[in-house]
Structure 1
């Protein structure tokens, strides 16, 4: 666990370990991370099983709180090739008004450092509402 010099945020070792399992072994479809206010560290909140759908992933985000997540997105290219890309999602770190300002600031200031801990991210997506991370948006960013 290392602390982030700018925000004082630490990253729990399980975050990197589970991400490596998603990337190398494909043990998980997605991982949702949250910042524990009490310990000021990023922790794993939810692990999506390999057969979970994109809809399951979308349902994993709380309506009024920020989160980080990674998603292993399988898709078929226009040339009919099966591919996979790992997305990093920063959820509600810019708005809406329902999220707490302090929480948004902590998530926004810690995002880049946390993302660097996860070696292998291919696409980043910032979403403040569900439509910004719809399946169609993700697929268009993957291609």
Structure 2
């Protein structure tokens, strides 16, 4: 399966007052993207998901809200309340993925969710 991708990771500044870009990457490795999602901190990401269907190759933008179970409660609350503002700033998002652990953001599962939208 082809895994070409480009992604941008977002977080909040230290004062929790501003959404900032943490990293952007043109990596073609989905597992590398997953490794950027920390086990104890929240993140948002926009991912240009490349996948194949019966009709050929497709690319869809996917918005990720990463809120792991082990993140601090305050951080989860601030990220949850700020999510919509960030999400609305993007045009062309095909699907939104919410993940609390890595099993919820596996490549094949994400592709299936995107295909349904």
Q: CA deviation at 1:119?
A: 1.7
Alignment of 1:58-97 (within 5 A): 58-79=34-55, 81-92=56-67, 95-96=68-69
Pick one of 13, 34, 43 that aligns with 2:20.
43
Q: Deviations over 1:7-62 (max 9, x none)?
A: xxxxxxxxxxxxxxxxxxxxx7000000113261000001112x431111101111
- Are 2:16 and 2:78, in contact at CA under 8 Å, matched by a contact in 1? no
Alignment deviations for residues 87-137 of structure 1 (CA, whole Å, 9 cap, x no partner): 000001xx51x2111100000011111100112211100000001000111
| Structure 1 outlier segments of 4+, above 2 Å | none
TM-score w.r.t. the length of structure 1 is 0.73
Report Cα offsets for 1:69-95 as digits up to 9, x if no partner: 01100111123x111000000001xx5
**Cα–Cα, structure 1 residues 63 and 39, in superposed 2: closer, same or farther, change >3 Å?**
closer
The residue matched to 1:64 in structure 2 has which SS?
coil
Which is richer in strand?
2
Q: How many residues align?
A: 111
**What is the RMSD computed on CA atoms of the aligned residues?**
1.4
Name the CA distance, whole Å, in 1 between partners of 2:15 and 2:83. 18
Match for 1:124 among 78, 84, 96? 96
- 5+ residue gaps, structure 2: none
CA distance in 2 between counterparts of 1:34 and 1:84 reads 24
Q: Please list every run of 5 or more consecutive structure 1 residues that lacks an aligned counterpart in the other structure.
A: 1-27
Residue of structure 1 in register with 2:11 after alignment: 34
Rg bigger for which structure?
A: 1
